[in-house]
Structure 1
Amino acid sequence: MELDLEPLNLPSDNERPSCVIAGPCSAETEEQVLTTAKQLAAKGCHMFRAGIWKPRTKPGGFEGNGEKALPWMKEVKEETGMLTATEVATPEHVELALKYGIDILWIGARTTANPFAMQALADSLKGVDVPVLIKNPVNPDLELWIGGMERINRAGVKRLGAIHRGFSSVDKKIYRNLPMWQIPIELHRRIPNLPIICDPSHIGGRRDLIAPLCQQAMDLGFDGLIVESHCDPDEAWSDAKQQVTPDVLDYILSLLVIRDEHTTTEGIRQLRSQIDDVDNELMNLLAKRMRICREIGVYKKEHNMTVLQATRYNEILEKRGAQGSLIGIAPECIAHIFELIHEESVRQQLEIVNQ
């Protein structure tokens, strides 16, 4: 996958993640915006974010001040020198944001999930040279995420980045949105020159989860962070539980360990060689397993048996899950692996039975 990209050229701090965008969930009042911005600037933050238009899941909540708040963002830039960033969801938002000199635009998860909305935004961005960051769609659909980026890129926007904010799920567990790190990892594999920024605020949904999520993002080689920070988070008008003060954010960033993804030593080369050998063994074992599955398919066809044997499948998942626990692998991981193996086994047996 190739996009016609240019570097984002955003300010960075060599001692921290290369890109940190911080500020409140919503631009509530002029005082709140300027107070937060000045506190963040004093901590060395170069980019200020705030929601001008707030898409809420249900009506009745604070939905942003709209155009009224844009002069506050302009004042932030004038008084602190910080770049400003906000979310846009309609062509009108784009027009107003650019009119008031917003430096960075981002597109939210609900908008990314709608190809019609993405095309409308792409049309409104033609001829505009501004960095655009695109959040993943609410559902775990990598193709939809990439499709949204392609639409914006084809409009001539070359300074593109992705924001990983997690995915909605019925099974929330501890996170507001499940990280599902494998999806941004696959995005990086397919578009290696695309910067990916992590949004720990929306993944975690709780301020106590922000620090570990930031570190995990750095460990996975993410290019930066976008974090919600408020001068008085407990009194925030939206998403109060996931915002931190500028002081707390500064402390979190100061503790981050930034690892070098490009250093490759002889020791790691040898270990990777061992991994390659084991992977080859695994492939040979999988091939052997599928040969046996095909023999079972022939037997089922000859004896007029159904391909799917639910009792046997449940037995496999139960046994292998227990084995996984004994060897230090999460049962959920083992279950997922064997679900995929079973799906391929069933597919091959169906081909034989229906010949």
Structure 2
Amino acid sequence: MEFKEEDNFFRQLTGANYRPIMIAGPCSAESEEQVMQTALALREQQVDIFRAGIWKPRSRPNTFEGIGLQGLQWLGRVKRELGMRVSTEVATARHVEEALKQEIDVLWIGARTTVNPFAVQEIADALQGAKVPVMVKNPVNPDLALWIGALERVYNAGITDVAAIHRGFSSYEKSKYRNVPFWQIPIELKSKFRSLPLIVDPSHIAGNRELLLPVAQKALDLGYDGIMLESHPDPANALSDPDQQVTPAGLAAILDKLQVRKTTYDDQELINRAEKLRLQIDEADQQILRALARRMELVEQIGHYKKQNNVQVLQISRWKEIFRSRPEWATELSMNPDFVAELYRLIHTESIRIQTRILNGDS
């Protein structure tokens, strides 16, 4: 995929003087009055795209699954009367066809659809020949290849105005988030496709109003191109996801607190100072890698010793000792113990791999 910044729909919204794209609206379109009331309030905040779900993929039946086709007519009214761009989620070819009939400005593919290549291809086929921007949310599970594949299917259908939406990932681990951000995954996506617009969805990452601002701010600090937030005139009585929606006034308060950072240094002295620090970081990284190489040499020696004495690779007591002591050492050095624990999980996993190879006679 090759994205041209100069004529990309989403890049045009950021403008010459970069500013984040703002997408907002209710999780679900519930009534014509609710849609118009919310849109009118958000227009005053200069929201770029008004969003509302029409078809809602729910985990279980007998819950609110969206208002359906009449919701498209309400979005059409927002577009005609308020002059706002409108967007909704599509999950089938029929959804695409109906949305295009109503001249919906922007479509998005949800996480539950992205996870299914057959469903994405069906949507891509329906998009052939259309001139509509499409946003693709990450799949429910943390699978970068699946996310890229969905983007490629849409792009290969002739849709060059494509953006990625990061809405977090499901995880069995206990977390303060509804969907864990796993920031490294969208960062890797961005590193592969530098011109691909990347939008954050703090509502689905956070799952609650209190975390919306810090999630949105972190995304902007990482260079994201836009924010999608859910806003409802009466969140407590919303028919879907009430805890993660804010009133238009609440949204205005969040936007007022957000800080947009400069994309790069604009002073030569600062550039020189940053380059000097980067050189020092490179030197520190070389020292770290030399230390890791030495550690793995010692691991190989232990592997050969275990093989000679017919001892199994995994020693639980040693595993526990490492994950007890290393975070403690990290704390003494004013480092984040959780980061160090995660680092040593990777190191110890590699150590086990090396020793297993030796025991099996592969070296």
1:172 Cα deviation (Å)? 4.1
How far does residue 302 in structure 1 lie from its aligned partner after superposition? 1.3
The residue type paired with residue 236 of structure 2 is D
The residue identity in structure 2 corresponding to 1:8 is F
Q: Name the stretch that deviates more: 331-340 or 278-287.
A: 331-340
Aligned partner of residue 145 in structure 1, secondary structure: helix
Normalised to the residue count of structure 2, the TM-score between the two structures is 0.93
Deviations 1:94-124 (A, max 9, x none): 0001110111011111111111111111111
Runs of 4+ off more than 6 Å: 13-16
What is the Cα deviation at residue 332 of structure 1?
Answer: 2.5
Counterparts of 2:319 and 2:117, CA distance in 1:
39
**Structure 1 unmatched runs, 5+:** none
Matching of residue 279 in structure 1 with residue 278 in structure 2: no
Inter-partner Cα distance in structure 1 for 2:14 and 2:252: 15
Match of 1:89 in 2: 91
The answer to whether 1:345 aligns with 2:351 is yes
Partner of 1:141: 143
Displacement of 1:246: 1.4
- What are the superposed Cα offsets for residues 50-102 of structure 1, whole Å, 9 maximum, x if unpaired? 00001111112111111111111010011111100000000010000111011
| CA deviation profile, 1:157-212 (whole Å, cap 9, x unmatched) | 11111101111122342211111111111111111111110000111111121111
Distance 1:16 1:44 in 2: 15
Does 2:9 match 1:8? yes
Q: Which amino acid letter does the alignment assign opposite residue 335 of structure 1?
A: A
Q: Secondary structure at the match of 2:314?
A: coil
CA contact (8 A) 1:12 1:20 kept: no
Letter in 2 for 1:68: Q
Which residue matches 2:312? 306
Instruction: Tell me how large the CA RMSD over aligned residues is.
Output: 1.6
Q: Is the 8 A contact 2:20 2:224 kept in 1?
A: no
2: distance between equivalents of 1:248 and 1:85? Answer: 21
Aligned amino acid, residue 30 of structure 1? E
* 8 Å Cα contact 2:14-2:225 kept in structure 1: no
SS in 2 for 1:11: helix
Of 45, 50, 55, which residue of structure 1 is paired with 2:52? 50
Cα offsets for 1:204-238 (capped at 9, x unmatched)? 11112111111111111111100001122222111
Task: Give the corresponding residue for 1:292.
Answer: 298
Aligned to 2:180: 178
Which residue is 1:246 aligned to?
248
Q: What fraction of aligned residue pairs are identical, expressed as a percent?
A: 50
Please list, as runs of the form range in 1=range in 2, the aligned pairs for 1:159-174 lying within 5 A after superposition.
159-174=161-176
What code does the residue aligned with 1:314 have? K
What letter matches 1:186 in structure 2?
A: E
What does residue 231 of structure 1 align with? 233
Secondary structure of 1:238's aligned partner? coil
TM-score by length of 1: 0.95
Work out the CA distance in 2 between the residues paired with 1:158 and 1:28. 32
Return closer, same or farther for 1:172/1:165 CA change in 2, 3 Å cut-off: farther
Structure 2: tracts of 5 or more residues without a match: none
The Cα of 1:48 is off from its aligned counterpart by 0.2
How far has the Cα of 1:46 moved from its partner?
2.4
SS in 1 for 2:217: helix
Counterpart among 253, 259, 262 of residue 261 in structure 2:
259
User: In the aligned structure 2, how far is the partner of 1:121 from the partner of 1:217?
Assistant: 28
| Deviating more after overlay: 87-96 vs 122-131 | 122-131
